[in-house]
Each structure stands twice: as C-alpha cells, then as structure tokens.
Structure 1
Amino acid sequence: MNRKTMILMTSICLIMLIVIFFPPQVVWLHSSDHPAKTHPAKTTHLVKPKSLTKNGFTYIPISNLEKRWKFVMDMNYIDGKVTFVHNKKKVILLQEIPVMQINGHFVPIEAGMLKEKNEFWITNESIRQIEKELKDDKNSIHSPAIANQRIPLNKVVSYLSFLEKPIHGAHVSTKDTQLPGAPRTYRNGVHEGIDWYSYTTGVEITKNTPVLSMADGVIVRADHEYHEMSEEERDQLLKQAATLDRTPEYILDKLRGRSVWIQYDKGVLARYVHLDRISDKVKVGDKVKKGQLIGYVGNSGTSDGVLGNKEGLHLHLDIFIYGEWFWKYYTLDERRSILEKVFPKKLIPYKVDKAVTPRSKE
C-alpha cells in the first residue's frame, strides 16, 4: 500500500468516525457563513387567570376585561363604582349590588362586584349577562329631557302620574326631613327618597303594613336572603362615610337594609327599602302588577333594625327616572308639590298616634 492510498483510507476512516459520533446537525460543524437554523421546542405555559372564590361565586378581575372589550373603564374605588360606554350604551356597576344600569335601565346580574386587594372583581356569569345586554338593541335610546334637565313641575307630575301609593291610604309625609334631599349630616349625605312613617303619613305603620307595587313592572332585585348587620358593623360604615364628603353607594346600600327594586315603564325605577320581609311571590326577573304585595314595612338596616327592636318602622321609597333622581333640579317646596300631586291625600280621616316619633337613622 503506497503512501497516497494510506492517507486516503485514513481520511475516509476519520470522516466516518465524525459522522457516526458527531451528527451533522451539531452547530460547530456548520460553516460560519451558513449559521444553523435552530428551532427551540415550543413550550405551552398554562397560566391560570387570577380568581377568587367568595359567597359561592368565582370572581375574576374586571380590569382584565378592558382589553377583551376594547374600551376604557372608569373605576371609582371610593364610591365602589365602575362605568364604561360601548356602542352608545353606558353601563354602571356598583360594588356588592347585584344590579347593573344600562342607559338608565336597571337589569339584574348574578352577583354584585367585589372590591378585594385594590381590585374590582366580577363573576363570569355576570360578564356574560353584560355582553348579552351590550348586543341587545333595547335600552339604547337616549334618556328624555326629564332625566337630565329641569322641566316644568306639571310635566314631572304628568310623567309620574301612572304611579300609585305604595301604602294604601297614606299621604306624603308632613315633615320636610322625610322628603328627598333632606340633609343627613351624620353620614355626610342627603336623604334620597320619601319616608312613610305612622305619625306623618296618616296611617298606622306596623310590621304588618303591606307595601304595594306602584305600577306594573319587572323585579330586578329582591333581598330574600338578607341578614341584618351588627351594631358594630353599622357604626363602622358610618365612621367610614364620615371621613368622606359623601356616603359611598355601597355603604348606602347596606344602610337600606332589605330591599326590593322594580323597573317600571318610562325609565322609572323604584327602590322599596328597610323592609321587614318580602312576599314569596316576588322573584327577580318576574313581572309584578300594580297593587301587588311586595312585602311589609320594617326597619332593617337602620339603627333600630340592628338592635332587633320594633322602633322606627317606616318605608323608605326611592324613585329614579333613567337612573337620575326625579327631584334633582327642584327645590324642597317644589319636590313636595310634585309628590303631593302624584300621591294625593284622600279625604277620609285617619287616626294618628302622634306620640310615636321616628328614632331610626337610615
């Protein structure tokens, strides 16, 4: 075997060893002019979304929905309120309140928002309900002038004239402090509705006094499972409100006690609050007829209610027109005039126990 043959055979053996023990895809075997095209293995990171479970519901952060829905939310952490606009629909959600507002109409949702860890949380079912409402063509009209500006008193009266009294035979309170807009300095707020007490409304009010629906409507909230606060819990809420320039909506909701909310025609929503108990026939989503029994007068949520006594019994009634207070643009005297025309006195005299005085703070 000559020298050239030996060199050739040796070279062939070396190449075979390289191919066998060092595969050609090894990066260092490739020319620097033709860098290797590496394909790293694809890894799937199963990142579970943040969630929390409370009261039997699973919640996710509502901030996650800003990108999903592609609009900006206004989140007010003091008032416990989230607002956003989508396709000419303005949606308002309130902390711990199982009702949403869409262009002034109120619609029930599975559960109210929670505020935990400096974040608002909402259930998946509530999200589906919101998306369904956003796709629906209803409730997309602009609210009428009565909801956002002052109009003549007689037109307000005419607009609300389809309502009947919530307590048979009663009349509007004779005390200004029981009318809408009266100051409530102990919580840095105002009285939002109309109170119906024994000694000021012409009828005896007890825990057996029926509360009636003022018109045909749809029930959007009914607190059948309400549990009264402790005195300490209520005091803590009032102390919290006292540090602010107003009473946050989620605190007010707790102070209202057991409630029924009914959406009526013409954008009118009524809140019947401080109830002692609610009729078994009152269910969220059901229709209700004018004069139908809603429940009975109580003092839930008040200073007497948390003590479990029978003092301070009254119905507190709130009236909205497309999400705005009907009395927003009127003086106290004008509010009284409107209410006394919508709920006129009857000429039948009633015996009144003038010794009974309200004690409860709402």
Structure 2
Amino acid sequence: MAWNEPGNNGNKDPWGHRKNEQGPPDLDEILKKIQDKLNSLFGGGSGGSGMGNMGDMGKGLSWSLLAMIAVGLLFLWSMFGWYVVQPAEQGVETRFGRYINTTTQGLNWHFPYPIESVQKVNVEQVRAITHRALMLTQDENIVDIELVVQYRVANARDYLFNVNDPDGTLQQATESSLREVVGTSEMEKVLTSERDKVTLKTKDLIQVIIDRYKTGLVVISVNMQNAQPPTAVQAAFADVIKAREDEERDKNRAQAYANGVLQRATGQSELLRQEAQAYKAVVIARAEGQTQRFLSILTEYEKAPEITRKRLYIETIESVLSNSTKVMVDVKGGNNVMLLPLDKLFAGRTVTTVPTDTTQPAVPSATALPPFTVFPQSSTLQPIERPSRDDNRTTTRGNP
C-alpha cells in the first residue's frame, strides 16, 4: 500500500517513518525556536500580526547570530595559538610548512593549525653517540677503537630543515674522521702516547664535516673509551708495552742519579771555590799585615837603629824559646854549659798574655820597650859538660 493511498492515515512518509517516531531535528524548527526566543527577549508577542512583523527582522537577527558564533569560534581557535618555550628550548615556527621565525624562552603566539605550527628543540641537552670499529693504521696494523662523541644542537633551524637525519650524519662523520686520523698514525702511538692527539684531531675534523653540511650541531668532546690491538696479538703487544715502561723507568733512575751526582759536584766545586776565596783573602790580609809591620819597624829603625835591632833580636829569641822546654846556656870562662829546665821553672805558673792594640804599630818604639827579666843563678841550674867543637849537636848561647 502506498503511503498516500486511502487507509494509510498519513502516519508514514515515503521512507517508512511514522510521524510520531523520533527523528533527526529539523533545521527549520531549530531556527524557529531561536527566533521565538529572540522575540521574547525583545518583547515581541506571539500573535499572528507580531509574527508577520518579525519576518524580516528574523532574517537580520539570524545573520547577527551567525556572526557572533563565527567570532566566538574565531576567538576560541586563536586561543590554540599560545605556546610556552622552556629556557633550554628554541621554538621554530613554520607557515604552511615554510620557516618564518625562531622564538626563545617565554610565552609566544602563532596562528594555530593549519596555518602555522611550531616545533620545540632542546638546544642545551648534551647528546652522545658511541662508535666502535676496527681501524687500519699507517703502519698496516689493525686496532680496535671505541669512541664516544658528545654534542648538542646549536642552531634549531638548521637542525630541523637542512639535513634529513642530523644525528645519523654525525655518526657517519665520526666514522669517516676517525678512519682518516688513525690511517695517518702509527699503531703504537695511537695506543700509547698519542691518544689525546688522535681525539683532538678527530673532534676538529668532525666539526668541519658537520659544519659543511649545516647540520646545526656542535661537538662538545670526543673521548676514546678503549683502544687495543686485536685479540690475537694482545699478549705480544702487552710485552712490548712492559719493555717500554721498563726502559722509561731505567731512564728516570739514571737521570735521577745523574742529577744527584751533578748537584754534589756542583756543591763541592762551590765549596772549593769559597775556600779558595777565603784562603786568598787570608793570604792577602797576612801579606798586607806583614807589609805594614815591616813599614812600622822600618820607621822605628830609622829613629833608633840600635834599639830596634836589639828589640828584633829579643823578639826572635822569645819566639824560638817559647816552643822549647830546655835551654842550654854557655858560661863564659868555663867548659860547662848550663841547662835551664824551663818546663820545671814555669810549672804551676799562669802565663798572662797582654793583648796587642791593633791600632798601634806591630813593633813599638824603642822608648816603649818593656824591661827585661833577669833570672839569677840558683840550685836548679845544672851544669853539663860542654860538647866538643866537632860535635854536630846545636847549642843555644845566652848572648848573641
């Protein structure tokens, strides 16, 4: 039975729905309800005349409502354009995929999607890659090297747009640089003395390569974690290193011994030099003193020759007898020689030495000569037989 045939009662539409069934809301009905609410707000009635008068006004209000809705949606859409860049980050803004600006930390705004977009890049984070491989050295040896490269992003724009895979590019640049540096070095130096030199050269070469590709990366440090010969020759190489260390230790010991000998020789030579200088000064001072003494004696001799001559004789005898404990005295008119035992005569006595004034001449004038001491004969004098004239023994006479 068709929907418009008699007996259908008009309860069904051409799509088989009943009028009293719940269906999707009608747009006309929604607009009508909105219009009724607006009429009630503006004080309009519900009569027929009122609805007639509000016909044209409804159209104006509907456009105003749509404009308000559009403005609200636009405002809501613009709120999605605010974003915050952290202190360690840089924000890269693109408009329809094309770079337009780089923003720093703080609150920033851009046109929301799909017009503009922003990518945040951490430029303070230190990243690291590890590379390990077998390298061929200049002397045609193989060395196993493990290298760690630390880097960070220096330019966010170059990092995002210039190279498809900046980190992979850095990995390849590290391998290429390391092979070039190791290939121009000897195995022994790479493993021992020139490890730091190899890492510095590798770091500089990596930076040159990644700057050439404008990856926006900067290398912070390059560390050689491990460097050793292949497993098959490690024992022999360890012996070589031990022998080299023994050689270096022996060299250090020899150098220390040489330094000690040199320092002792230097000290002894300095001591001899100082002693020679002291001896020189003493000899010069003694010569000058003797010269001055001679000149003083000469002056006194010119004044009183006989007294000065006698004084010199007495001083000479005094200096000779001061070192002798026995004196033999020749007695005139006899064949006996008197023996003076000076050691017994002066036993128990205290000899007083009168200090000499250095400001005065070494030999005083004839008028200032001290009195002579005369020893009287006593029982202590022992006569002895005069020796023969042909005897070779030396006698000391009392008179000149």
TM-score where L is the length of structure 1 = 0.23
TM-score where L is the length of structure 2 = 0.21
Higher helix share: 2
- Comparing both chains, which one has the higher relative contact order based on Cα–Cα distances under 8 Å and sequence gaps of 6 or more? 1
